[in-house]
Amino acid sequence: MIDKRDDAPDEPVQQELPQARLEERRRWSPSLVWLIPVVAALIGGYLTVQAILSRGPTITIAFHNAEGLEAGKTRIKYRDVDIGEVTSVKVSEDRKSIIATAQISKEAEPYLTSDSRFWIVRPRIAGGSVSGLGTLLSGAYIGMDAGRSKTSSQRFTGLDVPPIITGDLPGRQFVLKSADLGSLDIGAPVYFRRVPVGQVVAYALDKSGQGLDLTVFINAPYDRFVVPDTRFWHASGVDLSISANGLKVNTQSLTAIALGGIAFESPSSGENAQPAAANAVFGLAETRDVAMRTADHEVYPIRLKFQQSVRGLSVGAPVDFRGIVIGEVTAIGLEQDKARKDFNMLVDVRIFPSRLLAMSSNLDKDRSLRQQLSLKQMVTNGLRAQLRSGSLITGQLFVALDFFRDAKPAQLGHEQDIDVMPTIPGDLEELQAMMQRIARKLDKMPLESISAGLDQSVHELRAMLAATRQLMGNIDDKMLPRATQTLDKLQKTLDDTQQVLQANSPLQQDMRNAALEVSETARSVRALVDYLDRHPEALIRGKQGDAQ
């Protein structure tokens, strides 16, 4: 079957257009896609605000140099905990220091007080200890010690040397006055009864430049043993002394010998002793013997004038009175004596009257010891000053005071507000003067004529000795035979005498018999005397009858 429509010509098809319709426009609603950036912006803003609010303060620290510091790398630590970071390092405007700017965490802001301390931690060897070795691998960092002040600060000056003691360590600091540093250094130990109880934390010259102020820190609880009369001394090296008791060696430890140290002791320490206040000032003596001496509160300055060399005498040399040290030399000088056209050696000493009057029982409390010393009367009685040798090996001299009864009369002088004591030459000076006098007398003697006379006397003596020797030879030749005969006769006589004196010799027997007869005769005489005593008439009448 054939479809007719297939054969029909194509006719244009009229398409139907959509009919426009009026629709109401819908409102725009946000898509979830837009919510993501909004939330991100809010979170970013929140984080920004939080960062601003939690951001700590910015501080500046001035150092002498920036060795080991790097911006963005160098950390700031408090007790090995990071509390900040160095953000920049630059030279100061006056080019005298390096300014390190650091950002500190908010939590560490209370630590930033006016007495807080900062320093660069590097490898360091001091006081027998090694510190900062960890920085060899991790690099240097800035250490911090929180202060105790209530005043906040954001500008600090860094320390050149790390502090030995931090502010939170229990204990107390004390100041020691010393003439010089000796072998001490920061970190040197402080000993109490040979136990290390502290260390040296700082030292500096005093304002006058004549001494040194050392700051020591004594750890708790040992700081309570430091009382107002505590004595400190150098414990460095070996203290060697020779006395009548033998050789005496004092030392603390090998560490003190190698690195130096300080020791202290209290003469009146006990449970009732009150501890000294913090930062109390004490003296630092050279040795323990010097430190433990009784304090001499009253001093008597005296000037001595010598007309001899003072070589070997030094400041600090003892003033001795019959073996007891009663003072010391304080100054040595020179003055011109216009009257003698020569120079006098001035030696200023200070005497401690308490040492001379320590055993006196009749002291007057209302008068000073200087007034009771009666030095003027002592000088009148012969008290003089003399230089003596303390050691023939070292040649050191000391001043000796003693009474010389044969000294020339002198009085206690006074000049420039100081008493002047008369002096006499020392024993060595007197010996030298005597030798000089002998030498002068020898120079005046006619030694040549004396020598000629001695030569003649020697010749005459030799001639006399020769004649004597010849005479003795003649005597030997003539007298020797006769002397031999005489000795033989003497020997014979002695032999005869020995025979006579023997116990069994006839002479001895006769002597014993004679002695017996004499004894019998004596008894008869005693009997006769006794009879006559009883019968005196027998002398006239004779013996009658049997009268006894």
When the pLDDT of each residue in the chain is averaged and rounded to a whole number, the result is 79
Phi, psi of 204 (to 5 degrees): -165, 155
pLDDT digits (tens, 9 = 90+) for 521-538: 878 777 777 777 777 777
Q: Is 518 within 8 Å of 525 (Cβ atoms)?
A: no
| Kind and range of the H or E run holding 346 | strand 342-351
Question: How far apart, in whole angstroms, are the C-alpha atoms of residue 424 and residue 175?
Answer: 44
Q: Mean of the pLDDT values across residues 486-502? A: 74
pLDDT band at 4 (very low <50, low <70, confident <90, very high): very low
pLDDT at 2: 44
pLDDT band at 457 (very low <50, low <70, confident <90, very high): confident
pLDDT at 45: 82
Question: How far apart, in whole angstroms, are the C-alpha atoms of residue 488 and residue 471?
Answer: 26
Lowest-pLDDT range of 125-139, 315-329, 357-371:
357-371
pLDDT at 197 over 90: yes
Task: Extract the tokens encoding 193.
Answer: 């009864």
Taken in order 159, 164, 169, 174, is the CA torsion positive or negative?
A: negative
pLDDT digits (tens, 9 = 90+) for 235-284: 876 666 554 444 566 666 666 666 678 999 887 655 667 889 989 999 99
Question: How far apart, in whole angstroms, are the C-alpha atoms of residue 501 and residue 153?
Answer: 130
| Kind and range of the H or E run holding 461 | helix 447-500
Of the candidates 264, 238, 232, 265, the residue with the CA atom closest to the CA atom of residue 251: 238
The residue to which tokens 């060795």 are assigned: 67
> Three-class SS of residue 445?
coil
pLDDT at 547 over 80: no
Question: How far apart, in whole angstroms, are the C-alpha atoms of residue 400 and residue 351?
Answer: 12
Quick check: bond before 221 cis, omega within 30?
yes
Task: Extract the tokens encoding 483.
Answer: 């002397």
pLDDT at 367 over 90: no
pLDDT at 412 over 50: yes
pLDDT at 546 over 60: no
Q: Is 100 within 8 Å of 168 (Cβ atoms)?
A: no
pLDDT band at 226 (very low <50, low <70, confident <90, very high): very high
Of the candidates 202, 198, 195, the residue with the CA atom closest to the CA atom of residue 220: 198
Percent of the chain beyond pLDDT 70? 76
Q: Is 285 within 8 Å of 232 (Cβ atoms)?
A: yes
pLDDT at 244: 40
Percent of the chain beyond pLDDT 90? 15
pLDDT digits (tens, 9 = 90+) for 376-389: 888 888 899 999 88
pTM for this prediction: 0.51
Of the candidates 167, 177, 165, the residue with the CA atom closest to the CA atom of residue 280: 177
pLDDT digits (tens, 9 = 90+) for 293-326: 766 567 888 999 998 888 888 888 889 888 888 8
Q: Is 427 within 8 Å of 390 (Cβ atoms)?
A: no
pLDDT at 100 over 90: yes
Q: Mean of the pLDDT values across residues 35-58? A: 79
Give the rounded distance of the alpha carbon of 325 from its chain centre: 17
Q: Mean of the pLDDT values across residues 50-78? A: 86
Taken in order 374, 377, 382, 384, is the CA torsion positive or negative?
A: positive
pLDDT at 355 over 80: no
pLDDT band at 190 (very low <50, low <70, confident <90, very high): very high
Lowest-pLDDT range of 42-46, 84-88, 289-293:
289-293
Question: How far apart, in whole angstroms, are the C-alpha atoms of residue 491 and residue 443?
Answer: 64
* Stronger pLDDT, 283 or 511, i.e. the higher one: 283
Question: How far apart, in whole angstroms, are the C-alpha atoms of residue 14 and residue 12?
Answer: 6
Of the candidates 317, 325, 324, the residue with the CA atom closest to the CA atom of residue 389: 317
Question: For 68-221, where are the E strands, in sequence order?
Answer: 75-78, 81-91, 98-104, 117-121, 124-126, 129-131, 141-145, 155-157, 171-178, 189-192, 195-205, 212-219
Q: Is 370 within 8 Å of 298 (Cβ atoms)?
A: yes
Q: Mean of the pLDDT values across residues 452-461? A: 79
pLDDT band at 366 (very low <50, low <70, confident <90, very high): low
Question: How far apart, in whole angstroms, are the C-alpha atoms of residue 342 and residue 344?
Answer: 7
3-state SS record for 278-299: CCCEEEEECCHHHHCCCCCCCC
Q: Mean of the pLDDT values across residues 431-451? A: 74
> Three-class SS of residue 200?
strand
Question: How far apart, in whole angstroms, are the C-alpha atoms of residue 351 and residue 373?
Answer: 11
Question: How far apart, in whole angstroms, are the C-alpha atoms of residue 344 and residue 334?
Answer: 6
Beta bridge partners of 421: 304
Lowest-pLDDT range of 35-39, 58-62, 116-120:
35-39
Lowest-pLDDT range of 87-96, 141-150, 507-516:
507-516
pLDDT at 243: 42
